[in-house]
Amino acid sequence: MFPQLWIAVIIAVYTTVVISRPTEDERVKLWYKNGNKWPPTWQDESPQMAYIKAKQEEEIMSITASDERWENWLQFTQGRLVPKFTTHGFELRQIPIEVYQKLRSATERGLERWDQLRSEGDIDVILNSDGNDPKFIDIGSLSFEVLKDLQSIHEEWAGGIKLRGTSAYGVRMYQNGSSLVMHYDRVQTHVISSIVHIAHEYDDDDEPWPIQIEDHNGKLHSVNLEPGQMLFYESSKCLHGRMKVFKGKYYGSIFLHYAPVDKSIWNYDLEQIIASVPPHWRDNIQEESGSRYSGASYSITSRLVENAPPRIVNGEYIPDPPKSSWHYHLGGELHEEHEEL
């Protein structure tokens, strides 16, 4: 039984708008009717990126479960469908000092009442072998103040386009044992984004907790943020996550998201992603559930996080290749230190 897949079709009946949701077979007919083909030609891809995406598609198609494979396909399709704004897709910078000082003070007040901080709860894309869900420091209106304060530098980084703030989330405090599954962010609203890093406490400063991010050529980079630094990134376009397990007490950041004001530049939504998944996504499905299903994210071997659940197919344990296979499709080694671009 395949998961039920939806695509919005707007039908005007007199003055009433009705949303009709086709079956998967109807969705496939629409896919062909709209002139789609695969591999896609929506955006220009370098030969290296095209090669990497072809290899990732092979990995996705090796997933035997419909729900897990479908989520991988949604992510994979989104990354290839939406346009890019910058040369590389991310950049590390210093947080403006006055903004950092405000955030640092608010975070320190939260750390003083560590045991009383609320849990953020179970989040699909955050894995934690110790069961330590992230804690959350509520900073009230300061988060949206920062969103406004930093809007202009996000606009400058994105090439001068006008942006609107869509989300300011934090301060999230990851705890020991956490990893973050590789994923793309919400396509409607999380377009030009930043991770504003405020504070961390490692068990060992020689074992930091980098974020991994694909650039526009598919090359995987590993970037360490120090308190007072922020990472600009095209969060709907560049695959990102934290593939290593965090070793420490806390890692705290606020996440800022913006979207272009001009809808001729960006007018994407989930329905377009669903409609653009090619029909062959469901070939040779063997089972309904997937042992590595974690919501909207990747679970392929080359982008697998350290504490992902085991691969189980029809009740049988399937061992993974060595961890070095995380980057065996990259045409080069994973960069453990940030390479200036």
Q: Please give the pLDDT value at position 10.
A: 27
123, two tokens: 């989040």
- Looking at the structure, do residues 8 and 98 belong to the same domain, yes or no? no
* CA 279 to chain CA centroid, nearest Å: 24
Reading the chain (341 residues) residue by residue, the pLDDT tens digits are 444 333 333 223 333 344 566 789 999 999 999 899 999 999 999 999 999 999 999 999 999 999 999 999 999 999 999 999 999 999 999 999 999 999 999 999 999 999 999 999 889 999 997 779 999 999 999 999 999 999 999 999 999 999 999 999 999 999 999 999 999 999 999 999 999 999 999 999 999 999 999 999 999 999 999 999 999 999 999 999 999 999 999 999 999 999 999 999 999 999 999 999 999 999 999 999 899 999 999 999 999 999 999 999 989 998 887 755 444 444 333 444 344 33
Are 141 and 256 in the same domain?
yes
Same domain, 234 and 125: yes
Of 231, 260, 289, the position where a domain reaches its end is 260
pLDDT at res. 16: 38
Closest CA to 238 of 341, 320, 142, 318: 341
Amino acid at residue number 253: S
In the chain, the number of structural domains is 2
Q: Are residues 97 and 19 in the same domain?
A: no
State the residue range of the domain holding 7. Answer: 1-37
200: domain CATH number?
2.60.120.620
Q: Which of 90, 114, 142 is nearest to 338 (CA)?
A: 90
Both 103 and 234 in one domain: the answer is: yes
> DSSP letters of 27-93?
HHHHHHHTT--SS--SS---HHHHHHHHHHHHHHHT--BHHHHHHHHHHHHHHHHS---SSSSEEEE
- Check whether residue 181 and residue 114 sit in a common domain: yes
Task: Give pLDDT, residue 323.
Answer: 56
What would the pLDDT profile of 206-251 be if each residue is shown by its tens digit?
A: 999 999 999 999 999 999 999 999 999 999 999 999 999 999 999 9
Burial call 20-45: b when 16+ CB within 10 Å, e when fewer: eebebeebbeebeeeebeeeeeeeeb
Q: What is the pLDDT of residue 21?
A: 64
106/192 Cα distance (integer angstroms): 25
Query: What pLDDT, on the 0 to 100 scale, is given for residue 129?
Result: 75
Let me know if residue 1 belongs to a domain: yes
CB 222 within 8 A of CB 326: no
Asked if the structure places residue 217 within a domain, the reply is: yes
Residue 192 shares a structural domain with residue 106? yes
Q: Per the domain annotation, does 140 fall within a domain?
A: yes
Give the per-residue pLDDT at 341: 32
Q: Are residues 94 and 13 in the same domain?
A: no
Residues 144 and 27 in one domain: no
Do 31 and 98 sit in the same domain of this protein? no
For residue 251, tell me if it sits in a domain. yes
Beta carbons within 10 angstroms of residue 134's beta carbon: 21
The residues, ordered by sequence, that sit 6+ positions from 264 with a Cβ below 8 Å of its Cβ are none
pTM, rounded to two decimals: 0.89
- How far lies 326's CA from each of 91, 212, 306, 334, in Å? 23, 11, 10, 8
Q: Do 111 and 252 reside in the same domain of the chain? A: yes
Q: Which of 260, 288, 314 finishes a domain?
A: 260
Q: Which of 233, 254, 123, 104 lies closest to 178, judged by CA?
A: 123
What is the pLDDT, as a whole number, of residue 329? 40
SS3 333: coil
Q: Is residue 336 one of the residues assigned to a domain? A: no
What are the tens digits of pLDDT across the range 158-176?
999 999 999 999 999 999 9
Which of 206, 233, 260 is a domain's end point? Answer: 260
- 248 and 125, same domain (yes or no): yes
Burial letters 193-206, b for 16+ CB under 10 A, else e: bbbbbbbbebeeee
| 19 belongs to a structural domain | yes
